[in-house]
Amino acid sequence: MKDLLRRSGSGILVLLIMLGGGVVLWVGVPLAWLYVGSLVQGETHSLGTALAVMMVGVAVSIAVIVAGLIWLNRTHGRLQEARGREHHGQTPLEATMTVSAGVALVVFGAWFFLFSGSSPLPTGLGF
pLDDT tens track for 53-70: 999 999 999 999 999 988
Tens digit of pLDDT for each residue in 6-53? Answer: 556 767 787 788 888 888 888 889 999 999 999 999 999 999 999 999
pLDDT at residue 5, as a whole number: 44
pLDDT at residue 58, as a whole number: 94
- Could you tell me the pTM of the whole model? 0.69
CA of 77: how far to CAs of 15, 70, 92, 99, in Å? 11, 11, 9, 19
Domain residue ranges in the chain: 16-84+91-108
pLDDT at residue 40, as a whole number: 95
Non-local (6+) Cβ contacts of 114 within 8 A are: none
